Amino acid sequence: MSSAVSDVAESRSRICDEFVTITATDSAVAQCYLAENDWEMERALESFFEADMERVFEVEDSPERDGNIEAKKQDDSSAVDCIDLTGDQPACSTGSSTADISQKPEDKNENKLSLLTWNVDGLDTNNIQERARGLCSYIVLYTPDVVFLQELIPPYIHYLKKRAVSYSFVEGGEDGYFTGMMLKKSRVKLQGSEIVPYPTTQMMRNLLIAHVTFKGHELCLMTSHFESCKGHAAERMKQLSLVMQRMRDAPDNLTVLFGGDTNLRDTEVAKVGLPPDVYDVWERLGKREHCRYTWDTKSNTNKNVQYISRCRFDRLYVRPATREGVPSLAAENMALVGQEKLDCGRYTSDHWGIYCSLSPPV
């Protein structure tokens, strides 16, 4: 074998091994995709993930399921409060990444905890392949330590598990649509989790709780998707009361973080009230207008509605650790993400996501 041929064989073997590592497949699959794409890694990966997405997101034709999805979408989009205030929208650019999320290097303060919460609108199956890739691209961009996700469906979480091998997953359900958490394995250690049902929910909603450690801090993480639609305010306030009770009753050596799609209106929060030691992150950081509206039909055209509705449905609450001598994490900044249109002309979700970082005391 000539030296040139040997070099080519060695190079292709190395590329093949990289493909297997990224895609969690075997060498036969790797050779097939690489050979079809002239042994160009980026093209081969793009071809693999596009084919894989088509298989993973194959939706069975079920009249009952379609009816439930359509009813839910109609409820969520037609019964929101209308608030028409203008404000600057922050720019956030992201590119498509075909490599695994774990390839993103750490580039932040090691002692800060970063968190992303997002209703990914999994019940909207239009362009769901590209929108799921969009979510992965944002996770690549921000490398959050903790990700709270709402409105997941089984194929969506299945795809994320294949892509995000550097994260562990905690799920709030298996059927229909549900919530989930992603925890960066190298930084956040899962100690245990539980699902707390909402006794009177009519929409399959619950509270997902995970107990974790992060850089010596003991944390209680919570996410939920509260009852949707204006007409379900009473149930939504019951759910908020349950969450606040859980936050208040958590051991005083824990920092408790809750985030999710609450569907809350400010009047509802005022009626329930927050415990003295729990704060709303957006309010604590100065109520900046460009971070106010996470549901914004003025800017987000995914639902293609004719009216303007701007609401702060997605929220973050923190209860710091209060035990003497125990350091706590405090919210430092937040931003809205997902405001870049994808190639399909739509956004990653009909909600903007919230990115937040929390720091220990100086």
Q: What is the pLDDT of residue 283?
A: 98
Longest dimension (CA), the chain: 80
121 is catalytic: no
8 Å CB contact between 169 and 161: yes
**CATH class, range 3-56:** mainly alpha
Quote the pLDDT of residue 94.
41
The length of the chain in residues reads 362
pLDDT at 133: 93
For residue 10, count other CB atoms closer than 10 A to its CB: 10
- Can you give the pTM of this predicted structure? 0.75
Instruction: Say which of 124, 145, 261, 296 is annotated catalytic.
Output: 261
227 Cβ neighbours under 8 A, 6+ residues apart: 198, 201, 202, 203, 205, 235, 236, 239, 263
Q: Which pLDDT score is estimated for 35?
A: 82
As assigned by CATH, the class of the 70-359 domain is alpha beta
> How confident is the model at residue 68, as a pLDDT?
47
> 169 with 132: CB under 8 angstroms?
no
CATH 1.10.8 positions along the chain are 3-56
| Tens digits of pLDDT across the chain (362 residues) | 556 656 777 888 888 887 777 766 777 778 877 888 888 877 777 677 666 555 656 544 344 444 444 444 444 433 333 322 222 333 333 443 333 444 333 445 789 999 999 999 999 989 999 999 999 999 999 999 999 999 999 999 999 999 899 999 999 999 899 999 999 999 999 999 999 999 999 999 999 999 999 998 999 999 999 999 999 999 999 999 999 999 999 999 999 999 999 999 999 999 999 999 999 999 999 999 999 999 999 999 999 988 899 999 999 999 999 999 998 999 999 999 999 999 999 999 999 999 999 999 86
- Residue 321: which of 214, 227, 233 has the closest Cα? 214
Closest CA to 333 of 285, 270, 276, 288: 285
**Alpha-carbon Rg for the chain in angstroms:** 22
Query: 206-214 and 217-225 as β-strands: parallel, antiparallel, unpaired?
Result: antiparallel
The SS3 assignment for 184 reads strand
The residues of the chain that CATH labels 3.60.10.10 are: 70-359
Among the listed residues 161, 241, 231, 149, the one whose alpha carbon sits nearest the alpha carbon of residue 196 = 241
Tokens of 90: 């922050």
Contact 136, 101 (CB under 8 A): yes
Q: Which residues touch 144 (CB under 8 Å, ≥6 apart)?
A: 114, 115, 116, 182, 184, 355
In terms of Cβ atoms closer than 10 Å to its own Cβ (0-12, 13-18, 19+), residue 224 is buried
Can you name the residues that pair with 260 across neighbouring β-strands?
224, 315
Cα–Cα distances (Å) from 85 to 90, 148, 251, in that order, read 15, 27, 40
